[in-house]
Amino acid sequence: MMTRVAIAPGVILWRERFSKTEQQTLLNDVLARIKQAPFYRPVMPGSGKSFSVEESNFGPLGWISDKTGYRYQATHPVTGAAWPEMPALLIDLWREIADAPDAQCCLVNLYRQGARMGLHQDKDEKALSAPVVSVSLGDEALFRIGGETRRGPTRGVELASGDVVMFGGAARLAYHGIDRIKQGSSSLVPGGGRINLTLRRVTQTD
Ligand code: MD3
Ligand code: FE
């Protein structure tokens, strides 16, 4: 049974928005596309230090990070191929909940054992009036969200497989990250771990 939870102004969490069957269908769609656009390990601009998450993208624009910076681009940084199409289920989800033009980027984050994501803001998009929508698959994660500055109070929220979170309005520029993954809490992802699908509008207009 799906339950809607208000976390903070601008944040809406739908627990179990996708049923177990839908999660499996979505995961199959994702893994089929990953064959065309394999996970790669991004590095931080400047330092060149590797991310602990592996990433890929679907849709017309992908978010990538390398030694020279963060940016959106239409092609995979390793294979040079265009990103695969966005799964239909995710296009439908965005149209249902986001009051904005269609998403252009689905960033795929793979968290294997020990992977995390430090507190950061998502601000590489020109369309800051559009929300960001996140779908969790696989192992549970401890997600952390704060305010628009790096300092100040934060709160932790557990995200489980099938949960959907939308961040808009007052929360669009909130600092957020993933503290840790609960290894073995789900058997959905082959090889274990968590996959997060983050949907974003990048440009202001078509
Ligand atoms: C709150 N990913 O890829 S999704 C990211 O679970 C990212 O992989 C995390 O943060 C993950 O940038 C968190 C939840 C999320 C995404 C975007 C946000 C929360 C957000 C933008 C603004 C505020
Ligand atoms: Fe983020």
Domains of the chain from N-terminus onward: 3-200 (2.60.120.590)
- The candidate with the shortest Cα–Cα distance to 9, out of 146, 128, 135, is 146
State the chain's mean pLDDT as an integer.
96
- Strands 54-58, 105-111: parallel, antiparallel or unpaired by DSSP? antiparallel
Q: Could you read off the pLDDT of 16-74 as tens digits, one per residue?
A: 999 999 999 999 999 999 999 999 999 999 999 999 999 999 999 999 999 999 999 99
Query: How far is Cα 141 from Cα 158, in angstroms, rounded to an integer?
Result: 6
Mean pLDDT in residue range 167-190: 97
List ligand 1's pocket residues with C-beta within 6 A: 107, 109, 117, 122, 132, 134, 145, 165, 167, 171-172, 174, 176, 178, 196, 198
Instruction: State the angle between helix axes of 20-36 and 88-97 in degrees (0 to 180), rounded to the nearest 10.
Output: 120
Full-prediction pTM beyond 0.75?
A: yes
Asked whether the beta carbons of 35 and 29 are under 8 A apart, the reply is no
Centroid of ligand 2 to alpha carbon of 121 (angstroms): 6
Q: Tokens 């995390």 identify what position?
A: 116
